[in-house]
């Protein structure tokens, strides 16, 4: 034991060194007063005289000391001021391994496992941000997986305190991990909570795909790719990723912080909705079980998801919602490429589509002038145009090709995206077989955008203006980058393919942002939303309750909820409210005696 550390011996019995970072050593120790196992982090002796090192160490101690959350490493004691001979921090001792070590050994498949992991990290960030702390160095090495399967966010060594009365920043040097660093930090701008969310996006991408979104042959090349927003869409790196998770990742990796997801609470709401949609009722228990027994739990979850999405596909097909049914079947084949019943079902759907196509071709031959055109437009069996994600494209391909090799659309390199809007690649396909003829790029073809709600459109960064109920225009045949935005929703970015001789109708569905709910009631009153605990009324005053705009797995612009509060056996009247997307609500719910 270094002689400088002996000053701690009065209370902490240092047993062994368990780690060393750039600024400190970490020891496993026993707190002789409370008789518990702890970790003692000690500033390296040669750094103790340096003012900047002391400030960084002191910043970490004060940052973590204000945080109390089940997914954040708890601090018990610290001494880091100028009057301390050798600064130290005492925290809970975690028996386990880092998320980096675990994920390099075990894949997070199905990717709902990655979503659950991201959910609890987002919850930890939401708590830290509410306390005025920006982590600034979120990466897999700074997340511990405890032996019981609990995630713990740690190492706030370069955290920034953002209270209005204290704004300590680490300026003058590039601190953090380049592969997970937000572009604004690279540019030397001040980090804020959205910088942590960008890092969360890189971590989610890595968990779901097994690859980093931004890579380069050297640090300079890596940083340039981050600044350019140049990354491969997640579903091209891992086709098994659900559309919802891919959209969350894209929202987190937005180059411009103003267009990025704006709060960790919003990420919690989005990931919670995805996990609910997958039928996972208790993500905490499910994720902990996966960490303890990954092989068994991954197989069990995959089987449950296959059953759930197969049933959904059949239900949607029976209701006549073919596009939604195919998306569900596509999810099944992404999870289980050899699923024979779903392959057969998709083959039946494709055969019906070919029959409709032949009927239309026959009608086109015999149609005369305006009468034929009118019949074509109003023919009741006109082929439905489906917006297909890579998962859906995989479903169609796998239904017709027994080989599990993914189709070219899943492995081809997409056109270079705009730096501010890395696109989620989405191909528009007809259910009828595509023509093998290559259209001339100079040919202008008509197209129609049909949003479910008001939206503002850009095509290849050309402003198309607002659109409701639809936008009709024309552009050259071939691929185009489409962007749709509305203040109430997350931005939608995708690639559409305009084809000669095809309808080129594209339904557009934006993902509504959660509503925010604030409850005024008795101190300590528990809020119940649709019968489920949603925190306390007092906590909602600091961090509003986020209500996802999802009903039966589908995004909606408004939804109805039932609120009540309870405390000490007493409760309020139930209050039924209709909420709209991205809107803040204040409700007063007094408790009445039973």
Catalytic residues, by residue number, are 137
Report helix, strand or coil for 218.
coil
- Alpha helices, H only, 319-339: 322-335
DSSP 125-161: HHHHHHTTEE-S---GGGEEEETTS-EEE---TT-EE
List, in order, residues 6 or more apart from 264 with CB less than 8 Å away: 122, 123, 125, 126, 129, 193, 196, 197, 200
Residue 13 to residue 6: CA distance in whole angstroms: 9
Q: Which of 142, 101, 113, 96 is nearest to 294 (CA)?
A: 113
DSSP 71-139: TBPPEEEEE-STT-SS-EEEEE---EEEHHHHHHHS---STHHHHHHHHHHHHHHHHHHHTTEE-S---
Q: Tokens for 202?
A: 């890189």
Furthest C-alpha separation in the chain: 99
Q: Tokens for 370?
A: 């305006």
For 415-428, give one letter per residue: b (16+ CB within 10 A) or e: eebbebbbbbbbbb
N- to C-terminal Cα distance for the chain?
A: 63
Beta partners for 61?
none
List, in order, residues 6 or more apart from 183 with CB less than 8 Å away: 198, 226, 227, 229, 255
Residue 206 to residue 212: CA distance in whole angstroms: 5
């Amino acid at each position: 034991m270094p002689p400088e550390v002996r000053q701690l011996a009065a209370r902490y019995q240092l047993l062994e060194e368990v780690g060393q970072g750039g600024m400190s050593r970490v020891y496993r120790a026993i707190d002789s007063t409370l008789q518990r196992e702890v970790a003692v982090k000690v500033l390296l002796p040669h750094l103790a005289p340096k003012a900047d090192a002391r400030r960084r160490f002191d910043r970490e101690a004060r940052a973590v000391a204000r945080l109390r959350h089940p997914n954040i490493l708890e601090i018990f004691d610290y001494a880091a001021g100028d009057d301390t001979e050798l600064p130290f921090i005492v925290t809970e001792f975690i028996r386990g391994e880092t998320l980096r070590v675990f994920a390099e050994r075990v894949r997070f498949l199905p990717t709902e496992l990655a979503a659950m992991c991201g959910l609890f990290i987002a919850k930890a960030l939401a708590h830290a941000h509410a306390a005025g702390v920006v982590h600034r160095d979120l990466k897999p090495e700074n997340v511990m997986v405890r032996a019981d399967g609990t995630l713990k966010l740690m190492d706030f060594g370069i955290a920034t305190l953002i209270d209005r009365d204290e704004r300590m920043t680490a300026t003058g040097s590039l601190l953090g991990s380049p592969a997970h660093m937000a572009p604004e930090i690279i540019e030397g701008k001040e980090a804020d909570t959205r910088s942590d969310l960008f890092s969360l996006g890189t971590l989610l991408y890595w968990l779901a795909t097994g690859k980093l979104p931004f890579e380069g042959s050297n640090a300079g090349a890596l940083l340039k790719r981050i600044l350019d927003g140049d990354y491969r869409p997640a579903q091209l790196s891992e086709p098994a990723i659900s559309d919802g998770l891919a959209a969350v990742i894209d929202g987190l990796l937005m180059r411009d912080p103003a267009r990025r997801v704006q709060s960790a609470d919003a990420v919690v709401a989005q990931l919670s909705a995805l996990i609910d949609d997958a039928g996972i009722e208790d993500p905490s228990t499910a994720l902990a079980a996966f960490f303890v027994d990954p092989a068994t739990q991954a197989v069990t979850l995959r089987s449950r998801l296959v059953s759930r999405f197969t049933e959904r596909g059949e239900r949607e097909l029976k209701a006549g919602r073919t596009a939604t049914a195919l998306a569900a079947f596509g999810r099944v084949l992404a999870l289980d490429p050899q699923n024979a019943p779903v392959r057969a079902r998709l083959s039946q759907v494709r055969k019906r589509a070919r029959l409709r196509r032949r009927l239309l071709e026959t009608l086109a031959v015999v149609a005369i002038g305006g009468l034929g055109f009118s019949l074509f437009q109003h023919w009741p069996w006109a082929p439905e145009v489906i917006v297909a994600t890579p998962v859906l494209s995989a479903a169609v391909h796998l239904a017709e090709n027994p080989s599990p090799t993914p189709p070219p659309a899943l492995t081809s390199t997409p056109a270079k995206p705009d730096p501010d809007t890395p696109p989620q690649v989405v191909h528009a396909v007809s259910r009828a077989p595509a023509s093998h003829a290559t259209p001339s790029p100079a040919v202008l073809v008509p197209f129609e955008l049909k949003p479910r709600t008001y939206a503002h459109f850009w095509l290849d960064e050309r402003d198309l203006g607002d659109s409701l109920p639809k936008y009709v225009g024309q552009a050259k045949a071939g691929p185009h980058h489409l962007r749709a935005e509305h203040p109430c929703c997350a931005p939608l970015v995708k690639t559409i393919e305009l084809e000669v001789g095809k309808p080129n109708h594209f339904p557009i569905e934006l993902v509504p942002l959660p509503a925010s709910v604030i409850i005024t009631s008795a101190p300590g009153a528990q809020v119940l939303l649709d019968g489920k605990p949603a925190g306390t009324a007092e906590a909602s005053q600091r961090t509003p309750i986020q209500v996802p705009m999802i009903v039966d797995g589908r995004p909606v612009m408004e939804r109805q909820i039932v609120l009540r509060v309870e405390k000490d056996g007493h409760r309020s009247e139930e209050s039924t409210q209709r909420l709209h997307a991205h809107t803040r609500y204040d409700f007063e719910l007094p408790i009445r005696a039973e």
